[in-house]
């Protein structure tokens, strides 16, 4: 098969310059010296008390974080064992083994974003002009029984362990969705019901070391097209968030997840909550692994601003659309623009 150089992992060993197809124009480079450290500016919320006497304080904290920051970090004890003792080493093994040698790798390689299991590289190689310094495996994971048998079976524990992680991550998301609905003054189950049958995808992002990290991105600035994203990352920095026009590094804090509001919560909340632009930069000497869980409506769900959040002073900012329409537009534009909201504004119809 003539597929040996499809992945970045195949290309990078021994390379000491970034190949020209990965080099950004000067006006669109990361300016790494101009990035701030988050230093506590991204809220850290302890969810352990969510169902105790501090319930309303935590709901308030979550509401504030969604309104002002779009990003927050959560600490939740129950998930720690599963996530950190277990998943990161497993995924590292999977990526280094499978991306590099695995028997199944080329069986899973695909550039078609509609595939429910796919190994690929960059963002969308069919539409983008400049490549990104990333390989990834993307899996659909809800409902689990529909997808788990399509996942890689190498290493043998992969399906069982990742399924367990997906179930835990979904449990965390469902709690967050109740809290977010409540913080908007909506019924607790409002967002849950708006998603129709729900969907969940997961990416295993692998960012190899890069000889010239100042010339390229792991992922350029974008907002997430889904509802909400819960990110598990290893201990290597790379995630950055745009805040008041400045890039802020969200460096890993042990035992926490990074949560960010996606485009669909911005739409449902009629712009009260923000889907914030973020990016991943790469490192000269270290590889980085990140594992986002993208929680989403099912493709047929119709999404629009909640009736309760529309009034004379807050007219509907978006039209109603199916999630599949939004998702297709997101992938087709190749991250050429940072968000796709403009195509879904009520005023654009």
Residues that bind Ni ion (CB under 5 A): 224
The CB-of-207 to ligand OGA minimum distance in angstroms stands at 7
Residue nearest to Ni ion (CB): 224
Tokens of 9: 């992992």
The CA-CA-CA angle for residues 16, 21, 25, to 5°, reads 100
Q: In this complex, which beta carbon is closest to Ni ion, that of residue 102 or of residue 292?
A: 292
Whole-number minimum distance, CB 239 to Ni ion, in Å? Answer: 9
Give the nearer residue to ligand OGA in terms of CB position, either 69 or 224: 224
- Residue 238 contact, options Ni ion, ligand OGA, none, Cβ 5-8 Å cut-off depending on partner type: ligand OGA
* φ, ψ dihedrals at 314, nearest 5°: -130, 75
The two tokens of residue 126 are 């069919």
- Given a contact cutoff of 8 angstroms between Cβ atoms, the answer to whether 11 and 19 are in contact is yes
Q: Which does 205 bind (CB under 5 to 8 A by kind): Ni ion, ligand OGA, none?
A: ligand OGA
Query: Smaller CB distance to Ni ion: residue 69 or 224?
Result: 224
The nearer residue to ligand OGA, 38 or 183, going by C-beta atoms, is 38
Least distance to ligand OGA from the beta carbon of 308, Å? 29
Between 276 and 306, whose beta carbon lies closer to Ni ion? Answer: 276
Report the residue number, 178 or 224, with the smaller CB distance to Ni ion.
224
Q: How far is the CB of 299 from Ni ion (least distance, A)?
A: 19
- The token pair at 19 is 């190949």
Are 116 and 150 contacting, i.e. CB atoms less than 8 angstroms apart?
yes
Q: Which residue, 98 or 226, is less far from Ni ion as judged by CB?
A: 226
Under the phi-then-psi rule, with left for phi > 0, alpha for psi from -120 to 50, and beta for the rest, what region is 19?
Answer: beta
How many other CB atoms are there within 10 angstroms of residue 274's CB atom?
18
Cα 42 from Cα 282, distance rounded (Å): 21
* Nearest distance from C-beta of residue 203 to ligand OGA, angstroms: 5
Partner from ligand OGA, Ni ion, none binding residue 239, C-beta < 5-8 Å depending on class: ligand OGA
φ, ψ of residue 184 to 5 degrees: the values are -90, 0
270: Cα separation from own chain's centroid: 21
Q: Are 203 and 291 in contact (CB under 8 A)?
A: yes
Q: Which partner from the list ligand OGA, Ni ion, none does 241 bind, CB cut-off 5 to 8 Å by kind?
A: none
Q: Are 58 and 179 in contact (CB under 8 A)?
A: yes
Binding site for ligand OGA (CB under 6 A): 203, 205, 219, 224, 233, 238-239, 278, 280, 290, 292
Q: Pick from 307, 335, 302, 294: which is nearest to 28 by CA?
A: 335
Q: What is the residue whose two structure tokens read 């010239």?
A: 212
* 188 token code pair: 């607790």
Least Å from the CB of residue 315 to ligand OGA = 30
Cβ 263 to Ni ion shortest distance, Å: 11
Residue nearest to ligand OGA (CB): 290
Cα separation, 336 vs 349, whole angstroms: 22
In the complex with Ni ion, the residue whose CB is nearer, 50 or 120, is 120
Shortest separation between residue 136's beta carbon and ligand OGA, angstroms:
8
């Amino acid at each position: 098969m003539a597929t040996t150089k499809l992945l970045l992992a195949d290309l990078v060993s021994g390379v000491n310059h970034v190949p020209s197809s990965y080099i950004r124009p000067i006006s669109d480079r990361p300016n790494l010296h101009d990035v701030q450290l988050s230093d506590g500016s991204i809220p850290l919320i302890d969810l352990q008390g969510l169902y105790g006497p501090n319930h309303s304080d935590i709901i308030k904290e979550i509401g504030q974080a969604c309104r002002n920051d779009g990003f927050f970090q959560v600490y939740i004890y129950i998930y720690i064992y599963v996530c950190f003792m277990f998943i990161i080493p497993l995924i590292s093994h999977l990526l280094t083994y499978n991306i590099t040698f695995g028997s199944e790798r080329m069986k899973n390689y695909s550039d078609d974003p509609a595939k429910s299991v796919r190994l690929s590289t960059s963002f969308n190689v069919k539409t983008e002009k400049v490549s990104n310094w990333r390989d990834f495996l993307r899996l659909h994971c809800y409902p689990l029984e529909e997808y788990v048998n399509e996942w890689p079976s190498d290493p043998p524990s992969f399906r069982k362990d990742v399924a367990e992680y997906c179930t835990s991550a979904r449990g965390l998301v469902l709690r967050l969705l109740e809290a977010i609905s409540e913080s908007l003054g909506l019924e607790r189950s409002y967002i849950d019901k708006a998603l129709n049958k729900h969907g969940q995808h997961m990416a295993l992002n692998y960012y190899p070391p890069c000889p010239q990290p100042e010339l390229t991105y792991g992922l350029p600035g974008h907002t997430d097209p889904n509802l909400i994203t819960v990110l598990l990352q290893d201990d290597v920095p790379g995630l950055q968030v745009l805040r008041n026009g400045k890039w802020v590094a969200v460096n890993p804090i042990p035992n926490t997840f990074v949560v960010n509001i996606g485009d669909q919560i911005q739409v449902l909340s009629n712009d009260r909550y923000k889907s914030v632009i973020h990016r991943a930069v790469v490192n000269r000497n270290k590889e980085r692994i990140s594992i986002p869980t993208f929680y989403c409506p099912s493709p047929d769900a119709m999404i629009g601003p909640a009736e309760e959040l529309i009034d004379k002073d807050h007219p509907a900012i978006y039209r109603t659309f199916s999630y599949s329409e939004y998702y297709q537009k997101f992938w087709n534009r190749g991250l050429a623009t940072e968000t796709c909201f403009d195509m879904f504004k009520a005023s654009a119809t």
